Every structure is written in structure tokens, then in C-alpha cells.
Structure 1
Amino acid sequence: MIDEKKMRDLLEAERADARALIASLTQGINEVSAARDGDNSDDEHDPEGATLAFERSQAATLLEQTKTRLDEIAEALARLDSGSFGTCIDCGGPIAEARLEIRPYAAKCVDCASRG
């Protein structure tokens, strides 16, 4: 039997972490962009330009992944509220409690998740 209070606490902690990471990444992206404003240098020929462009791209990708995780957390909380938490959305089987402790927003059992 899944401990709903424990899972809700884990999800709330994950949500707080995701929100903090989103704020940090957004600030970092804004700072990198501001540093490049007014700079006429061309990334291809500027020894620092390629690094800044790469860092900005990497941060933007991580930001999108974190936003997706935040959506998955919201969906998991909705499943918790509806009573379907811990049930695989693909096969309808149970999601192992150990998996939910590590990734409380998991919507699929290990078998279904490994199939894509």
C-alpha cells in the first residue's frame, strides 16, 4: 500500500526543487543574454562566443526539461488526488513503490517506461 502522505511530501519537495531550478536557470540565461547585448562580436570568431552560446543553449535545454518535470509533478499530484497514483498509465499495473520513492512523478511502470 502506497503511503499517500509520503508521496505527496516527495512530490511537493520535487516541485519546490524544480521551481527553484527554473528561477535559477532563467536568471542565468538572462545574465548571459545581457552580457552579450550590445556586443558586436560574432560567436564563430570570438573565442568566448562559442562557449557563451553553448552555455545559453545548454541552460535553455535544461530549463525546458525542468518545466516538463514540473508538469509531470502536477499530473502526479492530480493522480494522487483522483486515487490513480501508483497505477501505470499504459498497462494499468502497479508502479513499484521503490520507483515512486526515487521518481515520485513516474506515470509508468519500469517495463512500460523502458518501451518508450
Structure 2
Amino acid sequence: MTEDDPLARARAETLAQIAALTGEFDAVVDASRASNADDEHDPEGATIAFERQQVVALLAAARRRLADVEAALERRAAGGYGVCETCGRPIAPERLAARPAARTCITCAR
């Protein structure tokens, strides 16, 4: 991975986030097993079940983001990266810098 490759960087960051969230999920599951009741409260008042669902939602979002980045990598390999899937015009470099996996130009995204 090079520092100037936003797709490779986004992929690496997302994989790291998935690994961290998976570890967090495992810790929450272990905590729920150690608890006598699923609604046992932590010191901040959030239930273990709520924490588990929150981590599951974050993990699902990270996996969707990874799928988007990998699809963008495939588009780049096929020569279609940076081209709006809706109108066929080039996607602005500023949009790709902000959202490397963008499939549409800013006009079509609105």
C-alpha cells in the first residue's frame, strides 16, 4: 500500500476497524456469558444487549464499506474507476479524495 493510494488506505483502515470491532464483539459476548442476566447494567447504564447490538450495527456498516471499497478496486482494475455509474461523466477528484469508493458524481448523488 502506498500513502497516496486512497483506495488501498481505505481498505486497510476498514479491515483494521473490522478486526477491532470483532474483538469488541467477542468481549461483549464474553461479558454477557459471565452475567447472570442479559439486562445486567454496566456502570454507565447501558445494557450488555444494547452494547452487543451497537457493535453488530457498526460491524455491518464496516463490512458494507469494505465491500464498497473492494468494488471500487475492481472498477479501477477494469478501467471504470472515477466514472459516474449514473451519467457516465467523470467523478470530481475532490469527491474521490473524500469518498474513494464513490460510484456517482456529486450531481447524481443529490
Residue matched to 1:78: 74
After superposition, the CA RMSD in angstroms is: 1.6
Q: Partners in 2 of 1:67 and 1:17 — Cα distance?
A: 12
For 1:104, give the aligned amino acid. P
Residue matched to 1:31: 27
Q: Partners in 2 of 1:53 and 1:88 — Cα distance?
A: 41
Higher relative contact order (CA 8 A, sep 6+): 1
Q: Partners in 2 of 1:32 and 1:42 — Cα distance?
A: 11
Choose 83-92 or 34-43, whichever is displaced more.
Answer: 34-43
TM-score, normalised relative to structure 2: 0.86
**Deviation of 1:77 (Å):** 0.8
Please identify runs of 4+ aligned residues in structure 1 that moved more than 3 A: 46-50
> For each residue in 1:43-89, what CA deviation from the matched residue of structure 2 results, as whole angstroms up to 9, or x when unmatched?
1xx43374322221111111111101111111111111111111111
Correspondence for 1:47 among 27, 34, 41? 41
Q: Partners in 2 of 1:94 and 1:41 — Cα distance?
A: 55
Correspondence for 2:94 among 92, 98, 102? 98
Percent of paired sites with the same residue: 43
Q: Provide closer, same or farther for how the CA distance between residues 80 and 42 of structure 1 changes in structure 2, counting only shifts above 3 A.
A: closer
Choose 56-65 or 13-22, whichever is displaced more.
Answer: 56-65
* Count of aligned pairs: 105
- Unpaired runs of 5+ residues, structure 1, are 1-5
